Amino acid sequence: MIRKPRRKPDRINERGNYCYDSFCDADRYKYDFHLCKHNDGWIQYDTSQDAWYFGVWVNVNRRLIVTYAEGDVSICYCHDEGSLKKELKAMAKFYGNPPPAAIGIDRKGRVTRYFDPDARPEV
């Protein structure tokens, strides 16, 4: 289970949240299975960059954000609800709109994009 580390943060981001960095020699699916398996509040934060080497997860109750990028792991701890809102707003600006959950093409070639209304966590 991922918790706020007890050590001094590696850095403090622009919004004043504590960030802890590490490396994990695995792919993002380790985090998919570990974080989301126990269903204790972790939600995948959908981006257009999601792949076996990249993923983001958020736990609103614990005010934690985990980012995995090619083995680099960053855990961001938000001090309170206000700082979590700022972090989620900055993430939405950085990553852009969530990608469609599915794309359908009918017989006439018309494309319909289906979006998951719960694709991004909110506070």
pLDDT tens digits, 40-57: 888 889 999 999 999 999
Supply the pLDDT for residue 112.
Answer: 94
Supply the pLDDT for residue 38.
Answer: 66
User: Cα 122 from chain centroid?
Assistant: 12
Helix or strand (DSSP H, E) at 96: none
Tell me which of 24-28, 35-39, 73-77 is least confident: 35-39
Quick check: 121 and 54 in contact, CB under 8 A? no
Supply the pLDDT for residue 11.
Answer: 94
For residues 35, 88, 118 and 66, what is the CA-based torsion angle, rounded to 10 degrees? -10
Q: How confident is the model at residue 78 (pLDDT cuts 50, 70, 90)?
A: very high
Quick check: 41 and 61 in contact, CB under 8 A? yes
In the chain, what percentage of residues exceed pLDDT 90?
A: 63
- 6 versus 56: the higher-pLDDT residue is 56
Supply the pLDDT for residue 110.
Answer: 95
**Would you kindly state where each structural domain of the chain is located, as residue ranges?**
11-114
Measured distance CA(52)–CA(55) in Å, rounded: 8
**Beta strands in 1-123, from DSSP E residues, in sequence order:** 11-12, 18-23, 42-44, 54-59, 64-69, 72-77, 102-105, 111-114
Only one residue has tokens 């709109």, namely 97
pTM of this structure: 0.84
